[in-house]
Amino acid sequence: MALLTVILHASVVVQLVLLLLLATSVLSWGLIFDRVRVLGSASRAAEAFEETFWAGGDLGALYQTLQRDAEAQVGLATIFSAGFKEFLRLRQTEELDLTTILQGTERVMRVALSREIDRLERGLAFLATVGSVSPYIGLFGTVWGIMQAFQSLGNVEQATLALVAPGISEALIATAMGLLAAIPAVIAYNRAVTQVERLHSRYEEFAEEFVALLQRQGRAGATS
């Protein structure tokens, strides 16, 4: 209640700063929970797809299964579907050799991979901005509150702690609010970036292994 009283009696500028930081913090937490859900789902989907893919089943049957299940078109499944679809399309062109077909397949998978990474990175720039800017917004509120506290001393003959305490209190609250908005955003951003980098490497490794598998199958079919 004492904290709420200080906020309600703070200057308009400090109140606006606190309101801005509060809104930023709420948006950050919403985005943090969303990225935790998305990245966790992407990691689980990658594990499940790799287990199915490397089980040795028919690639055509796997492709048809994914085409019938729109919800499965996430992460590695999307990259595989895009690459295999392009491989089948190019293979129907008789004048193209295996190397050209594989190069086209690899290009399509790179595009699909880039889109998946963009989807995983959505909102991370906002978290980075909140983590870097929020302390300075809180510092602005701090400076303003202290300035108001000292200006109030100019109208009295005897300065006491009771006169400057409210201004200093609201100034410190602005600092604390800035840190409360920044710290979770920085932690979540660093964690999310690490997870995205791991998934990016995982996607790239799969794309390379898939192209190598198509190459071996294409050469085996040519020799037979």
pLDDT in tens, 102-136: 899 999 999 999 999 999 999 999 999 999 999 99
Residue 140 included in any domain: yes
* Amino acid 101: pLDDT: 87
| Confidence (pLDDT) at 163 | 59
Q: Is residue 7 part of a domain?
A: no
| Predicted local distance difference test score (pLDDT) of residue 114 | 94
Cβ(84)–Cβ(189) under 8 Å? no
Asked if residue 85 is part of any domain, the answer here is: yes
Domain-located, residue 142: yes
Domain count, the chain: 1
Higher pLDDT, 157 or 150: 150
Q: Which residues contact 18 (CB under 8 A, 6 or more apart)?
A: 7, 10, 141, 173, 174, 177
What is the Cα–Cα distance from 127 to 133, expressed in whole angstroms? Answer: 10
In a domain, 1, yes or no: no
Query: Domain span at residue 19?
Result: 12-223
- Whether residue 87 is contained in a domain is answered as yes
Instruction: Look at residue 3 and tell me if it is in a domain.
Output: no
Q: Is residue 6 part of a domain?
A: no
Q: Round to whole Å and give the CA distance between 175 and 141.
A: 7
pTM, two decimal places: 0.83
What confidence tier does 219 reach under pLDDT thresholds 50, 70, 90? low
Q: Are 170 and 14 in contact (CB under 8 A)?
A: yes
Say if CB 77 and CB 66 are below 8 A apart. Answer: yes
